[in-house]
Amino acid sequence: DAKTTQPPSMDCAEGRAANLPCNHSTISGNEYVYWYRQIHSQGPQYIIHGLKNNETNEMASLIITEDRKSSTLILPHATLRDTAVYYCIVRVSLYNQGGKLIFGQGTELSVKP
């Protein structure tokens, strides 16, 4: 299973872009990169996922390097409500149904006024 490495914590000023890095140097060719976040005492919330192309949705952008060994989640205009633990996960496949999500320690993002 491909492992991920994230910084344990980051700060970001409200209104500025938050750039959260993730290393996944052992990722396999058919493994996707998923990002979830967990606000205190709640279940994780899906943010975005990608294989090799950059992806954007209403919540964030995901930039994956050409060699796929690392990625960056970008929250374009961070708000106080974005304070959470952000998890970068490489998905282990179970046949064709996706698969297990193995959570690491994540990055605790603190958005400050």
Partner 1 sequence: GAVVSQHPSWVICKSGTSVKIECRSLDFQATTMFWYRQFPKQSLMLMATSNEGSKATYEQGVEKDKFLINHASLTLSTLTVTSAHPEDSSFYICSAETTLRRSKNIQYFGAGTRLSVL
Q: Which residues bind to partner 1, rule: CB under 8 A? A: 32, 36, 38, 41-46, 49, 87, 91, 94, 97-98, 100-106
Q: Cβ of residue 47: shortest distance to partner 1, in angstroms?
A: 10
**Residue nearer to partner 1 on the CB measure, 14 or 32:** 32
Nearest Cα to 90, choosing from 79, 78, 99, 80?
99
**Residue nearer to partner 1 on the CB measure, 27 or 44:** 44
Cα–Cα distance list, 92 to 27, 36, 88, 89 (Å): 10, 15, 13, 9
Q: Cβ of residue 52: shortest distance to partner 1, in angstroms?
A: 16
**Residue nearer to partner 1 on the CB measure, 43 or 113:** 43
Element containing residue 107 per DSSP (H, E)? strand 107-112
**Residue nearer to partner 1 on the CB measure, 76 or 98:** 98
Q: Please say whether the beta carbons of 53 and 60 come within 8 A.
A: no
Q: Cβ of residue 104: shortest distance to partner 1, in angstroms?
A: 6
Q: Round to whole Å and give the CA distance between 99 and 85.
A: 22
3 state SS of 105: coil
Q: Cβ of residue 16: shortest distance to partner 1, in angstroms?
A: 26
